[in-house]
Amino acid sequence: MTSRSPRISGSTAASPGASSGKRPLSIHNQDADDENRRKDPKVSRACDSCKRKKVRCDGTLPCGKCAKRNIDCAYDAKYGRGRPPTPPLSTTIGDYQERPRVGQPHELSSWQQETPVAQAVPASQTYSRVSPDVELEGQYFDPTSGLNFLHRAWKKLLIQNEHSTCYESNDTERNQVLTSAGDRPFCIDDKASESFIPDAPTARKLVHFYFETCVVTYRLFHRQTVEAWLEIFLRDRGQQQTLTRPLNNSRAAILLTIMAIATLRMERMNHEISAEDESLTLQQSDCLFRASTKLTDDEMGFPRLESAQARLIQVLYLLQTSRINKGWYTFGTVFHVTLSLGMHRRRDQKRDFPVTSRRDDYITSECYKRTFWSAYIIDRYLSVVFGRPRLYQDEDIDQDFPENINDEDMTAQGPSIPDDQADCYIDALIFHAKIARIIGKVSREVYSVSDLPNQDRLVAAHRLGRELHEWRSSLPPHLGTVKPSTLMPAFRRQAIALQLAYSHALIHTNRPFILSDAAPENITECIFATKNSLELINRMAGDKTLFHSFWWTHYVIFCALAVVYVWEIQRVTRTMDGVNDESMGKIFDIAEKCRGHLERASTGISQNRRYSVILDELRSEAQRCRVLRGSLPNLLLGGLHAGESNSNPDNGSPLFQDGNMLESDPQAMPHEGIMTNLLDSFLFSDWQALDSSAFLPLPDPNSVSPTYFHPIP
């Protein structure tokens, strides 16, 4: 067998003067190259160009070969070994300039430089902040995940809970029935008598307050019918009758829950309520609510309209008292009851289908529609808040919207006035249902778990964004164009609720693209929708009748602040026309105020406290990024040009004026690392994971792997 020899021919060696046209290779140099290759760091992923050519790649962005040839260096090819690793920034970039590409996947977009880098980045200054591998409650977290800051937040929550004696402690959250785990425990006051039920004047006052102040868009009851039930209830209470005679269980439960909601809201709106005062108020409202749930649990027979209404208003009480996990499970019962009654289907008045027992009167028929669409709205928002699938499917629904008619103008035979009345309370319910339907489409198409191309998601976002703008332009004047402060209180609350829903819907539609260079319009719309929602919430905070009117206000604050901080983190590597430092400074000013509103609202509310801790981690990362941008003036990160002054890196924003924090917290200094590379692996589904992060079960400290508490490098 002939052995393979080095690439030096015998003729060349024997005849040095021979002209072969080839340059001799040195054996010594070849050996040195082989030795150097063995010392090269292991690369787990090659760029797309090197992968196609089957050549060695150094795994940086741009890699050496692409930089030398001045061609696009991308890592877009499908990676089949888990979450794709983030390519580090090349230390030999030179004058390489990557060309912008249309449809670039968002997970790598923050590395796409729009201007050439003027100075090479020393290897010692590559910034990363990688958390150790963690298995939490049976779920594995990749160290390259864009959500690793949540690990630090959970660690803080665990430490706080270990030293906490209040209800939010980890043991208290765990030692509850499955459907309430993680919620505030109910105030148990099992009195022998039923003295917790208000007297007649107080009961009438509470029901009046509920319809005048507490109801905003979820108008599922006919007021005059409920007030008639109340008079029967009070008459029989005076005669020492049981709660359900002659009213049935569900109607009596509705009355008790209405009084529970009104008791709680009246106290919140009339006083600056402390944790102790709130606990006392909850003792009263919880007693009413527990009596209500006992009635619905004991309900006999087939379901009826009031069966769905009673459980739906119980869901609203649970959401307003931050028992959101219990609310989720209770809503599942509402969902099944509404389907069993066929409330999702249009009624055939000729055959009276699907309810065949008797033909409903006009009031009952309209309440069917109101109740269903109220449940539909709550389903869409619970889905977004929890990051979970929706229960109602649009393809199964053909129910009509309720008619634009106020309660006082309804009779059993039909409307008592013409249909062309000016302003109607039901308008807000109808338009809230319409925007909830668009939000559901966004969750289904933009956040789809299917392996859709990012370009398809972007197209869907543009289409649904146009639907949102059309929805906004179709609002009646008292809900859209008229200044809310000039409206009567009931319409003012409705107008502000729909404004907040609109801003949140725009954020929900566009936020997945703030990490993408391919969607500048979506980025701009998302940032300014965030600004509008924060400004609106800040105005609401000055009016207690508004701030406590919507159970999802705290989630919208969390959602908006998360967008602000994530945008600031990724601005280290890219800037954006129309969203400059001055604009961001103003947004940060209002963001700090809203963060304060959320912290003050966290008293006694478990998920708000979790929201605050999670946001603190994101805010700290954003703070480090801003310092980094100011401390590396020669590195063109985020549009920071060479020679640009960094004498005022905080741009006057209160978010970055806390110099003492930077000195006292070593992790706050730029050299300690930053999470910009983690955001490069931020997936569409990670936004939903962030939404639901406040409701994930905290691990048992005694069973957590020691790696969970590994110090952050």
DSSP letters, 382-393, are: HHHHHT---SS-
Dihedral of CA atoms 367, 370, 375, 380 in degrees, nearest 10, equals 170
The 10s digit of each residue's pLDDT in 572-596 is 666 555 566 667 778 888 999 999 8
Rg (CA), the chain: 31
- Structural domains of the chain, count: 2
Spatial contact of 453 and 506, defined as CB atoms under 8 Å apart: no
Spatial contact of 269 and 493, defined as CB atoms under 8 Å apart: no
Here the tokens at position 634 are: 């020669």
397 and 472: one domain? no
454 and 403: one domain? no
Q: 509-513: list long-range contacts, CB under 8 Å, 24+ apart.
A: 509/442, 509/446, 509/461, 509/464, 509/465, 509/468, 510/461, 510/465, 511/559, 511/563, 511/687, 512/106, 512/446, 512/447, 512/457, 512/461, 512/684, 512/687, 513/106, 513/458, 513/461
**With pLDDT > 70 as the criterion, what percentage of the chain qualifies?**
64
Dihedral of CA atoms 239, 244, 245, 248 in degrees, nearest 10, equals 150
Residue predicted with more confidence, 687 or 272: 687
- Identify the pLDDT of residue 501: 97
The 10s digit of each residue's pLDDT in 294-315 is 999 999 999 999 999 999 999 9
Give the Cα separation of 247 and 230 in Å (integer): 9
516 and 615: one domain? yes
What phi and psi values does residue 19 have, to the nearest 5 degrees?
Answer: -95, 100
337 and 245: one domain? yes
Confidence of residue 359 (pLDDT cuts 50, 70, 90): low
Here the tokens at position 358 are: 């008797």
Confidence of residue 241 (pLDDT cuts 50, 70, 90): low
Residue 681 covered by a domain: yes
Here the tokens at position 295 are: 């009635």
Spatial contact of 204 and 262, defined as CB atoms under 8 Å apart: no
Residue predicted with more confidence, 124 or 87: 87
Residue 103 covered by a domain: no
239 and 283: one domain? yes
Q: How far is CA 264 from the centre of its chain?
A: 26
Dihedral of CA 104/110/115/116: which sign?
negative
Confidence of residue 342 (pLDDT cuts 50, 70, 90): very high
Which among 404, 422, 440 is the end of a domain? 422
Mean pLDDT of 258-285: 79
Residue 199 covered by a domain: yes
Spatial contact of 388 and 381, defined as CB atoms under 8 Å apart: no
Task: Fill in the amino acid letter for 41.
Answer: P
254 and 383: one domain? yes
Give the Cα separation of 248 and 337 in Å (integer): 17
321 and 213: one domain? yes
Residue 531 covered by a domain: yes
Domain range enclosing 264: 192-348+358-422
- Identify the pLDDT of residue 50: 87
Q: What is the per-residue DSSP string for 167-212?
A: TTSHHHHHSS-GGGTTSPPP-----SS-TTSPPHHHHHHHHHHIII
Give the Cα separation of 386 and 373 in Å (integer): 20
What residues contact residue 222 under an 8 Å CB cut-off, 6+ apart? 363, 366, 367, 407, 410
Give the Cα separation of 567 and 131 in Å (integer): 21
Confidence of residue 166 (pLDDT cuts 50, 70, 90): very low
Confidence of residue 291 (pLDDT cuts 50, 70, 90): very high
- Identify the pLDDT of residue 577: 55
Please check the confidence at residue 215 and state whether its pLDDT lies above 70. yes
693 and 595: one domain? yes
Give the Cα separation of 521 and 372 in Å (integer): 36
Spatial contact of 51 and 57, defined as CB atoms under 8 Å apart: yes
The pTM of this model reads 0.74
- Identify the pLDDT of residue 331: 97
Here the tokens at position 163 are: 């030293």
Half-sphere exposure of 360 (CA within 13 A, CB side): 20
The 10s digit of each residue's pLDDT in 192-209 is 445 678 999 999 999 999
The CB density around residue 195, as the number of other CB atoms within 10 Å, is 9
User: What counts of helices (H) and strands (E) characterise the chain?
Assistant: 24, 2
Residue 646 covered by a domain: no
What residues contact residue 658 under an 8 Å CB cut-off, 6+ apart? 623
Please check the confidence at residue 231 and state whether its pLDDT lies above 70. yes
Give the Cα separation of 637 and 113 in Å (integer): 8
Closest C-alpha to 575, from 647, 641, 672: 641
203 and 248: one domain? yes
The 10s digit of each residue's pLDDT in 18-52 is 444 444 444 444 454 454 555 556 777 888 888 88
198 and 245: one domain? yes
What phi and psi values does residue 142 have, to the nearest 5 degrees?
Answer: -70, 135
Residue 382 covered by a domain: yes
Spatial contact of 280 and 327, defined as CB atoms under 8 Å apart: no
Total number of residues shown for the chain: 713
Give the Cα separation of 207 and 199 in Å (integer): 12
Q: What is the per-residue DSSP string for 485-553?
A: GGS-HHHHHHHHHHHHHHHHHHHHHHGGGTT-TT-HHHHHHHHHHHHHHHHHHHHHTT-HHHHTS-TTH
What phi and psi values does residue 387 have, to the nearest 5 degrees?
Answer: 65, 35
The 10s digit of each residue's pLDDT in 425-478 is 999 999 999 999 999 999 999 998 888 888 999 999 999 999 999 999 999 999
Residue predicted with more confidence, 326 or 677: 326
Closest C-alpha to 211, from 198, 227, 191: 227
- Identify the pLDDT of residue 251: 95
Closest C-alpha to 656, from 600, 588, 702: 588
Q: What is the chain's mean pLDDT, rounded?
A: 75
The 10s digit of each residue's pLDDT in 104-139 is 333 333 323 333 333 333 333 333 333 334 443 334
416 and 462: one domain? no
Residue 509 covered by a domain: yes
- CB environment 379-417: b (16+ within 10 A), e (fewer): bbbbbbbbbeebbbeeeeeebeebbbbebeebeeeebee
Residue 340 covered by a domain: yes
Please check the confidence at residue 686 and state whether its pLDDT lies above 90. no
333 and 479: one domain? no
Among 70-84, 342-356, 598-612, the range scoring the smallest mean pLDDT is 342-356
Please check the confidence at residue 391 and state whether its pLDDT lies above 90. yes
Closest C-alpha to 623, from 651, 644, 598, 590: 651
- Identify the pLDDT of residue 657: 42
Residue predicted with more confidence, 601 or 512: 512
The CB density around residue 631, as the number of other CB atoms within 10 Å, is 13
